[in-house]
Amino acid sequence: MNEGDCPIQFRGLRGDDYPVRAMWNSMLAGIVFQHPSIESLRRELSRNGQLRSICGLRAVPSAAAYTRFLRSLMEHGSWIESMFDELVKTLSEELPDFGRRLAMDSKAIASWASRPSKEKKEDGRRDLDAAYGVKTYRGTREDGSTWEKVVRWFGYKLHLVVDAKHELPVAYTVTKGSRSDVKEGHVLLDEMEKRHPKMLKKAEVLTADRGYDDSKLLSRCWDEYGIKPVIDTRRLWKDGEQTRLLPGHTNVVYDEGGAVYCYCPETGARQQMSNGGFEKDRGTLKKVCPAKAYGITCQGREQCPVAGGVRVPLAVDRRIFTPIARESYKWAKEYRYRTAVERVNSRLDVSFGFERHTIRGLAKMRARCGLALCVMLAMALGRVREKQQERMRSLVRSVS
């Protein structure tokens, strides 16, 4: 793209001291070299003549010049999205397995403003877009006790879909901190369907934490795209309700974790049934008699109505029953790929400066997130083309 074709224009600048390409280069340099603010970048440009020359600057741009540049950049946020999409497309061509295994999560990003402003007039110093967000993390300790951690912030959410193998983003949105993860999960799928339909067809598995536990989202993944959802479940059953009777059976029950049990008709003893795989043409999970699968003794096997096994339709409960059985080893193996999003989020914090930033306003946050993700993809693409795929997640490299 030539500078004359770019919609970002400036007024009142000194000749050609701050051409668009040079300003753009300096913005990218600020991201690569982890400057938390424009003033930090300007100080670096002031002392580092070599960096100014590489960027194409004759002089250090004023703070006002950067303000005008950022304002124009925010007005044309779709250009950043287009760059991101082109990088995703190019990487998918360079890496045949890119997008085959996906992971979804959101990242809390606090605003530079610490609380809502009582003023309603935008003046560039207040944040009138941010909202309070809350995320709750739960887990189980080794001794069986449970723990809970509640994180609250005033700001925004970056919603991400990443390639879980290469740990690179493939889709993103930025919203207020109060936005529901589940609702935005549907938006991310809509965006991928519109922008990267081939990748959706190639995708095989989508992993996410229990914040995305929603029957509509799980059903959509499999029914519309053929993607196997590996999403943890929330505990939504009533207190004391441990199991439910499997429809059409008298001695088979299931729990909220997806495990299926049968009761011996002779002794009443309960055993967990074994996984027999997913039958795609039937839309059912096959469960095998535990006596047959494990060789255990069952006194009532001769008269048991499920001695030959059972088929559990996904339609019994789309939130609990998924193409990959929840209690299987394969499900546990796939779910571990969910941490790929956490590592991408960590890189955004540490290497791309979101731990300490000076961003206020939704438009500026969208532009800054988009630029960071574009740099992440561009660096990865460069490494791949240089046959350095093992270093494609590195922002910089050491000089030997």
Q: pLDDT, tens digit, for every residue of 297-318? A: 889 999 999 999 999 999 999 9
- Residue 12 is predicted with a pLDDT of 42
For residue 272, give the 3-state DSSP assignment.
Answer: strand
The Cα–Cα gap between 232 and 322 comes to: 11
**Can you give the residue ranges of every domain in the chain?**
20-61, 78-114+127-234+329-391, 243-316
What residues pair up with 212 in beta bridges, in sequence order? none
- Residue 14 is predicted with a pLDDT of 47
- Residue 124 is predicted with a pLDDT of 63
The Cα–Cα gap between 161 and 101 comes to: 10
Confidence of residue 261 (pLDDT cuts 50, 70, 90): very high
Confidence of residue 389 (pLDDT cuts 50, 70, 90): confident
- Residue 17 is predicted with a pLDDT of 67
Q: Is the pLDDT of residue 400 over 50?
A: no
The Cα–Cα gap between 148 and 181 comes to: 19
**DSSP state letter for 251:** S
Q: Is the pLDDT of residue 4 over 50?
A: no
Residue 293: count of CB within 10 angstroms of its CB: 16
* pTM of the complete model: 0.88
Lowest mean pLDDT among 12-21, 97-106, 139-148, 175-184: 12-21
Residue 236: count of CB within 10 angstroms of its CB: 10
Residue 375 phi/psi, 5° resolution?
Answer: -65, -40
DSSP string of 310-360, one letter each residue:
EEEEGGG-TTT--SS-TTSHHHHHHHGGGHHHHHHHHHHHHTSSTTS----
Q: Is 106 within 8 Å of 158 (Cβ atoms)?
A: yes
Residue 41: count of CB within 10 angstroms of its CB: 21
- Residue 122 is predicted with a pLDDT of 67
Question: How confident is the prediction for the chain on average, in pLDDT?
Answer: 89
Q: Is the pLDDT of residue 11 over 50?
A: no
CA 163 to chain centre: 9
Residue 216 phi/psi, 5° resolution?
Answer: -65, -40
Contacts of 221 (CB under 8 A, 6+ apart): 189, 206, 227, 228, 229
Contacts of 89 (CB under 8 A, 6+ apart): 196
Mean pLDDT of 55-82: 89
Q: Is the pLDDT of residue 365 over 90?
A: yes
Closest CA to 337 of 178, 158, 196, 208: 208
Q: Is 230 within 8 Å of 211 (Cβ atoms)?
A: no
- Residue 260 is predicted with a pLDDT of 97
Report the amino acid identity of residue 388.
Answer: Q
Confidence of residue 13 (pLDDT cuts 50, 70, 90): very low
Q: Is the pLDDT of residue 289 over 90?
A: yes
The Cα–Cα gap between 322 and 248 comes to: 19
Distances in whole angstroms, Cα of residue 248 to Cα of each of 149, 168, 252, 312, 358: 41, 45, 9, 10, 60
Which listed CATH number (3.40.640.10, 3.30.70.360, 3.30.420.10, 3.90.245.10) goes with 78-114+127-234+329-391?
3.30.420.10
Q: Are strands 284-288 and 270-272 parallel, antiparallel or unpaired?
A: unpaired
**DSSP state letter for 302:** T
The Cα–Cα gap between 347 and 377 comes to: 13
- Residue 72 is predicted with a pLDDT of 86
